[in-house]
Structure 1
């Protein structure tokens, strides 16, 4: 079972990095829609995927245009966001709003961390950049990702794969 989870985490990391790099023009910068961020909702299925998602972000940022700052700040932002998501869903697992609340962490964390990093690296306007990054995260994770997650959950896809969601 542990080997299966490790393989899934490695696949998640690879898919996250590949998706990010394939849509590079809109995955990096002050206005970004990193489609791979939908995958952060996988921590609601299994918190073990924090590792794969963090590694995937690290790999994607290795290939990105902002170098060391994005590798460290971007990876840290993803790690903090998915840890907070996992903790939120544990606390609010019986609430119908738990998934929505958990999905907001990437918006807040990436908006602040990446917004500040872009302000520092490319002298983008701080508050505007934080807002733009946050909006991109909100659209990808909450507006698009949550309905997909809920659909998969409703269709028992996660249970068929052996998860207790």
Structure 2
């Protein structure tokens, strides 16, 4: 990788991470970023690995920094970041699976990884301790929030970026 390409990769990743963090903290102001009910606007950005590999570390770092303010502390920094990193890698892997040029599977990895991993985290760290009912409740709640954001905001964002990229020959 040439030095200019490396610089571009780092700049893209840093920018994505910073935007992810800012959007997460804005959602936190509305009490929507942490806990069993999550509608992180930043999760719409999880679609970005279809456009650039720099989004994979960018999203992970943005999530790590965002989770500093989580009520789950270091656990959320580890588990939340892991969920985001795994989801970003898988999103990158399915980027070319399209229906009518729409990357229909790309928003699915964040939904699944966050539902399972964050569902486990919330159930394990609940005041009552782990229970399967607690896990399924948290997993469904987090997964539904992810589904709404990733498909409702992320997929339209991908379509807009694709259209912009074609006009400006970015992608």
Structure-2 change in CA distance of 1:103 and 1:158 (3 Å): same
**Rg bigger for which structure?**
2
| Contiguous gaps of at least 5 residues in structure 1 | none
Q: Does 1:138 align with 2:147?
A: yes
Q: Does 1:163 align with 2:170?
A: yes
Number of residues of Structure 1 aligned to a counterpart in Structure 2: 160
What TM-score comes out, normalization by structure 1 length? Answer: 0.89
What TM-score comes out, normalization by structure 2 length? Answer: 0.86
Structure-2 change in CA distance of 1:3 and 1:160 (3 Å): farther
CA contact (8 A) 2:122 2:138 kept: yes
Q: Does 1:117 align with 2:117?
A: no
CA contact (8 A) 1:58 1:75 kept: yes
Structure-2 change in CA distance of 1:120 and 1:97 (3 Å): farther
Matches within 5 A, 1:65-80: 65-80=71-86
Matches within 5 A, 1:1-165: 1-24=5-28, 25-90=31-96, 92=97, 95-96=99-100, 99-122=103-126, 123=129, 125-154=134-163, 157-159=164-166, 163-164=170-171
CA contact (8 A) 1:78 1:106 kept: yes
How many angstroms does 1:37 deviate by?
A: 0.5
How many angstroms does 1:160 deviate by?
A: 5.3
| Contiguous gaps of at least 5 residues in structure 2 | none
Structure-2 change in CA distance of 1:98 and 1:159 (3 Å): closer
How many angstroms does 1:42 deviate by?
A: 0.9
Structure-2 change in CA distance of 1:162 and 1:57 (3 Å): farther
CA contact (8 A) 1:45 1:163 kept: no
Structure-2 change in CA distance of 1:51 and 1:161 (3 Å): farther
How many angstroms does 1:2 deviate by?
A: 2.3
Q: Answer 1 or 2: which has greater helix percent.
A: 1
